Structure 1
Amino acid sequence: MSTESVSEPTFIEPSTLVTLLQDPSKKPGIDYVIVDVRGDDFANGNIRGAINVPSHELLNNPGDLVKKLEGVKEVVFHCALSQVRGPKCAKKFSEALALREPLVGDVPGNGATLQPTPKVYILRGGFENWQSGVERRALIEKYNEEYWKNPY
């Protein structure tokens, strides 16, 4: 098991995420991944390039996502408001990061190393806040404006 220290997830501001998404030198899937932990409402709009891993799936087996995202530098979690599911999933993911095994082929005790630990963030305000910013609409895929007028 890793003895590497994994820090607690921190909040990222929407404006910072906009800058990341618009930076042509940053590659999705390598430099960053956005993990949307919402359920059915994902189909009514998502941040460009986000992957959907419903919170119940992630919480049941966070190690699967850790393996899938091995080598990614930054991981941003969010749900509708980023008050419960998003932060809980980000924390569970961070805990699973701390339990990673050395890379295949490495022998523990003989200098086995892990991929660099990604920075883990929670999008402040979640998708509700994100979609309310007109300047961010260009960074949303499959946006259903009618749905978001009254999603609940």
Structure 2
Amino acid sequence: MLREGKQPGKDFVLVDLRQEDRTGGTIRGSINLPAQSLYPAIPTLYTMFTTAKIRSVIWYCGSSQHRGLRGAAWMDDYIEDRGDSSLRSLVLLEGIRGWANAGTEYTAFMDEYDEGAWR
């Protein structure tokens, strides 16, 4: 659950790596960066996030078993190569599907939520 007092875009960034499969909604405050275009953008994203003093980047896709893991790993490698300990690269376990199926306290934080898409 989003911690009280923590705001997306200020304290952390949620990155939705889905492209064509974005039906059903997205977590409020997340940005969409399709996985296909992500790898070359990692240095720019790192600069943007660290300049904005973002502490955590949370990556997700449908299940976070492929694109979410890959995105988090690429950013984590980039962070590690710089010896940076101020930014963390994390994966949203079970992805947006897990979030959408976790109950109304989670779906309340979704934009364009469509219950039928998650059955």
Structure 2 equivalent of residue 129 of structure 1? 98
Q: Give 1:142's match in structure 2, choosing from 106, 112, 118.
A: 112
Q: Give 2:79's match in structure 1, choosing from 92, 97, 101.
A: 97
Quick check: 1:58–1:65 contact (8 Å CA) kept in 2? no
Greater Rg by CA: 1
Structure 1 equivalent of residue 17 of structure 2? 37
Quick check: 2:24–2:117 contact (8 Å CA) kept in 1? yes
> TM-score by structure 2 length?
0.84
Q: What letter matches 1:38 in structure 2?
A: R
Quick check: 2:24–2:116 contact (8 Å CA) kept in 1? no
Q: What is the percent sequence identity of the aligned residues?
A: 28
Alignment of 1:1-152 (within 5 A): 18-20=1-3, 23=4, 25-70=5-50, 71-99=53-81, 117-135=86-104, 136-149=106-119
Deviation at 1:19, TM superposition (A): 3.8
User: What CA distance in whole angstroms lies between the structure 2 residues aligned with 1:140 and 1:72?
Assistant: 21
Task: Please list every run of 5 or more consecutive structure 1 residues that lacks an aligned counterpart in the other structure.
Answer: 1-17, 101-113
Q: For this pair of structures, how many residues does the alignment match?
A: 116
Deviation at 1:44, TM superposition (A): 3.4
Quick check: 2:14–2:29 contact (8 Å CA) kept in 1? yes
